[in-house]
């Protein structure tokens, strides 16, 4: 525990809180959240540890944030790579170490999964997130790669 922050691995009993936090996260970025689709996505993670895990933070008894780890094999790293898919800290709990403790937990637990590298997507202009991830040992990938994405029909 750090600054009255507690972290626990999330499960189905945390779904409502996670959806509320995720909705707030999306709202800050101006994106709507399909709660039904998000609930199904969380359920898939909870049902299969091979896909990843979710951790939830509480601070002073309040839901303070969450982090999602998804897993995939990466040829570049010769093994399992963890992708930090979501990291969110509620505004009232920012600058109190919540993100740091979530990332410390994720890093420690990732090793137990056999993860050899961590990846995260960050907006180029999101200096606060880049600083937070930098403190956790994550920096700009070398080269000038660009992330491409598309949904399969």
Percentage of residues of the chain with pLDDT beyond 70: 98
- Distance (Å, rounded) from C-alpha 117 to C-alpha 79? 8
pLDDT at 13: 97
Percentage of residues of the chain with pLDDT beyond 90: 74
The topology (CATH level 3) of 5-135 is Aminopeptidase (3.40.630)
The mean pLDDT of 1-13, rounded to a whole number, is: 87
Which sequence spans correspond to the domains of the chain?
5-135
pLDDT at 117: 95
pLDDT at 123: 86
Residue 72 falls in which region: left (phi positive, over 0), alpha (psi -120 to 50) or beta: beta
pLDDT digits (tens, 9 = 90+) for 100-109: 999 999 999 9
Please state at what angle helix 15-28 crosses helix 35-47, rounded to 10 degrees: 130
């Amino acid at each position: 525990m750090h600054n009255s922050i507690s972290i626990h691995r999330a499960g189905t009993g945390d779904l409502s809180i996670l959806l509320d936090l995720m909705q707030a996260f999306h709202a800050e970025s101006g994106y709507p959240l399909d709660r039904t689709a998000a609930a199904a996505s969380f359920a898939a993670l909870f049902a299969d540890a091979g896909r990843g895990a979710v951790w939830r933070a509480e601070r002073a008894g309040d839901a303070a944030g969450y982090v999602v780890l998804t897993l995939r094999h990466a040829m570049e790293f010769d093994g399992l790579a963890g992708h930090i898919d979501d990291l969110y800290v509620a505004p009232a709990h920012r600058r109190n170490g919540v993100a740091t403790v979530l990332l410390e937990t994720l890093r420690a637990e990732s090793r137990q999964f056999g993860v050899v590298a961590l990846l995260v997507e960050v907006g180029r202009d999101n200096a606060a997130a880049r600083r937070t991830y930098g403190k956790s040992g994550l920096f700009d990938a070398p080269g000038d790669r660009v992330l491409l994405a598309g949904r399969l029909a």
